[in-house]
Structure 1
Amino acid sequence: MAVETDAGPSPELAVLTDTQINWERLNKTRFHVIGAILFTVQQALIHPMSVIKTRIQVDGLGLSQMSGTYVFRHILKTDGISGFFRGFGTSAVGSMPGRVLALTSLEVSKDMMLKHTEGLDMPEASRIGIANGVAGMVSNLVSCIYFVPLDVICQRLMVQGLPGTTQCKGPSDVLQKVMKTEGFRGLYRGFGLTALTQSPASALWWGAYGAAQHMIWRGLGYKDDDGDKRPSHMEMVTVQAGAGMIAGACSSVITTPIDTVKTRLQVMDGYCVGRPSVMKTAKGLIKEDGWWGFYRGFGPRFLNMSLYGTTMIVTYELIKRLSVKNN
């Protein structure tokens, strides 16, 4: 999970931020408790889109050729409202320890990098950018180690009953069947692909976010040297949300093909001859639908990442503001 750090204001937004909330200023217990609660709520809001996206990407017969709206109606008709929350309980409960690891590694590694680079002859923006970049990579790596097995289990629950998938009764049954057929390695299907693509994907997300936020502030009339003009709290939240939505939308265009291959690799059994691999999965997808097959589920993913970008940045900024130590 990539999240923005508050190491300090960039030159573009120097006049727009009055405080910087770093690791030392946070009440750690409050930070993790509030974070677990708010991110679970955020996850509940976007989970239905993940279910729709995953079903389109995996189904090799009917749903893969249908629109997100059709799949939405199909799930509602066959499974009811509960169908949109398949795997949510496992994901929500299982994600809590992972979020603690990800948020802690993000903030601690960022804080360490800022201290190690303090006093170096480089622009402050470059120093903050390097610290945030390293923190994002460390956090992503920690997240992959924990979240890929959880992702494998949750996505298998999402696609119960679709062609090429194994029927399971619940998360413990999924775990037992994967371990029985493939061993521990089966829980890490798609790990390499996920780990290798998370860093550039995060860079793309935050690059788009920063550029979008700067353009929005400029459009609202805020200038770098206008030290007397300060935005209201509502303006800050609105701009952050808008920039997060734009960043998520831009990122989805680039990352959907990788996500499609990863999802199919993680949940489809008997799809490839021999042990599943990235190349075998990609070739099978091309054979089925051609190159457009890599964009299965693009609509739901586009909406999902736009909503994720918006809710994630607003939620994270709120968590940090609520977690500042009382002086």
Structure 2
Amino acid sequence: MGSREIARPAVPSFDQTEINWDKLDKTKLYVVGAGIFSGVTVVLYPLSVIKTRMQVASKDAVQKNAFSAFKNILKTDGIPGLYRGFGTVITGAIPARIIFLTSLEMTKAASLKLVDPFKLSEPVQAAIANGIAGMSGSLCSQAVFVPVDVVSQKLMVQGYSGFAKYNGGFDVARKILKSEGIRGLYRGFGLSIMTYAPSSAVWWASYGSSQRIIWRFLGHGNDKENVPPSQLKIICVQATGGVVAASIASCITTPLDTIKTRLQVMDNTQKPNVRQVIRRLIAEDGWKGFYRGLGPRFISMSAWGTSMIVAYEYMKRLCAITEES
């Protein structure tokens, strides 16, 4: 590692800006992480509701923009309308995130070792390792996340634009199991994999590489002493990397997310398939229909990504194993 730092002094080393899996107290990480990510979810959840409403709206009910959808929800349901399905999401999100983070960090550590012999630049190394890790984390967590997604999205749109009403998450799950069996809870599983796995890969790859590019632009490591950057500067770079990653990932994956959302909220009596959903979207709104909710999705991914990565990196510092321990 020492020889690599001398050979490439243009950016801070991994050790200066990142804490790897083997340096973390896992128990503390999971406990602190559950609290931090639950707090972030509380703040950003309304954006998911607005995005979902815009994506599933019929042609007559479609909102012109996210603000119109926001005002409509407040008018009809008040503040509670912005948190429909929240209980289901927060309950299922904790185990899903534990699975995601464990797979992410373990895969990233292994991937960095695999790409190291190729002597690639640090941005490229980071993009490859983080991209593989992001996809791995998403694939592993989908088994928990998809049923939560199906139930929560039905709650988000209940009573809206002709959708059925329910008495909470358990009522949704019970009715799905009764009418469709366990397969009903995994409706759109393939599309979820196709949406979230590439999105996660693109997000983490963009985040990992953009950080190194930003560090290079800032000229860190050019001094002979190779002084580590301040904590504030590290946070600013990580936050900027989160916004860059979100903008790229949201533009690439929003069409698949729109199709997946529509497929998941439809009733079993409609027996929809992907081709029918695509045809209906095009008939209603043309090709731009695939980008319904892009604004809220971009804002949500940017806000979530930036908040998540800053909170996550801070959390890793809190949970780092000290030399004394």
TM-score tier by shorter-chain length is: 0.7 to 0.9
Report what 2:99 is aligned to.
Answer: 101
Structure 2: which amino acid aligns with 1:226?
D
Which TM-score applies when normalising by structure 1?
Answer: 0.87
SS in 2 for 1:168: coil
Report what 1:24 is aligned to.
Answer: 22
Report what 2:57 is aligned to.
Answer: 59
Report what 1:283 is aligned to.
Answer: 279
Report what 2:310 is aligned to.
Answer: 314
Give CA-to-partner distance per residue, 1:274-312, whole Å, 9 cap, x none: x32222111111111111111111111121111112111
Q: CA 1:93–1:143 in 2, change beyond 3 Å: closer, same or farther?
A: same
Aligned-residue Cα RMSD (Å) equals 2.6
Report what 2:40 is aligned to.
Answer: 42
Q: CA deviation at 1:243?
A: 1.9
Alignment of 1:123 with 2:119, yes or no, is yes
Report what 2:71 is aligned to.
Answer: 73
Give CA-to-partner distance per residue, 1:116-170, whole Å, 9 cap, x none: x39x742264666554443323211111111001000011111111124222111
Alignment of 1:248 with 2:231, yes or no, is no
Which TM-score applies when normalising by structure 2?
Answer: 0.87
Which of 280, 296, 301 aligns to 1:300? It is 296
**Are the equivalent residues in 2 in contact too, given 1:244–1:310 (CA < 8 A)?**
yes
Q: Which ranges in structure 1 are unaligned for 5 or more consecutive residues?
A: 1-7
**Are the equivalent residues in 2 in contact too, given 1:16–1:230 (CA < 8 A)?**
no
Q: CA 1:78–1:128 in 2, change beyond 3 Å: closer, same or farther?
A: closer
Give CA-to-partner distance per residue, 1:59-112, whole Å, 9 cap, x none: 214442321111111111221111111111111122111112111222233344
**Are the equivalent residues in 1 in contact too, given 2:243–2:302 (CA < 8 A)?**
yes
Q: Distance in 1 between matches of 2:174 and 2:91?
A: 19
Q: Distance in 1 between matches of 2:126 and 2:236?
A: 24
**Are the equivalent residues in 2 in contact too, given 1:27–1:323 (CA < 8 A)?**
yes
Structure 2: which amino acid aligns with 1:284?
R
**Are the equivalent residues in 2 in contact too, given 1:242–1:310 (CA < 8 A)?**
yes
The aligned runs of 1:224-239 (5 Å cut-off) are 224-227=221-224, 228-239=226-237
Moved over 4 A (4+): 8-12, 112-115, 124-131
Q: CA 1:134–1:51 in 2, change beyond 3 Å: closer, same or farther?
A: same
Report what 2:196 is aligned to.
Answer: 198
SS in 2 for 1:18: helix
Structure 1: which amino acid aligns with 2:274?
V
SS in 1 for 2:62: helix
Q: Which ranges in structure 2 are unaligned for 5 or more consecutive residues?
A: none
Say how many residue pairs are matched: 315
Q: Distance in 2 between matches of 1:39 and 1:90?
A: 15
Name which of structure 1's ranges 17-26 and 84-93 shifts more when overlaid on structure 2: 17-26
SS in 2 for 1:279: helix
Which of 148, 159, 168 aligns to 1:170? It is 168
**Are the equivalent residues in 2 in contact too, given 1:164–1:268 (CA < 8 A)?**
no
Alignment of 1:222 with 2:234, yes or no, is no
Q: CA 1:202–1:100 in 2, change beyond 3 Å: closer, same or farther?
A: closer
Q: CA 1:176–1:201 in 2, change beyond 3 Å: closer, same or farther?
A: same
Name which of structure 1's ranges 171-180 and 207-216 shifts more when overlaid on structure 2: 207-216
Give CA-to-partner distance per residue, 1:156-197, whole Å, 9 cap, x none: 111111124222111011001111221111111111011123
Q: CA 1:191–1:133 in 2, change beyond 3 Å: closer, same or farther?
A: same
**Are the equivalent residues in 2 in contact too, given 1:265–1:277 (CA < 8 A)?**
yes
The aligned runs of 1:149-168 (5 Å cut-off) are 149-168=147-166
Report what 1:92 is aligned to.
Answer: 90
Q: CA deviation at 1:225?
A: 3.3
Q: Distance in 2 between matches of 1:167 and 1:23?
A: 44
**Are the equivalent residues in 1 in contact too, given 2:211–2:241 (CA < 8 A)?**
yes
Structure 1: which amino acid aligns with 2:273?
S
**Are the equivalent residues in 1 in contact too, given 2:254–2:294 (CA < 8 A)?**
yes
Q: CA 1:130–1:66 in 2, change beyond 3 Å: closer, same or farther?
A: closer
Report what 2:141 is aligned to.
Answer: 143
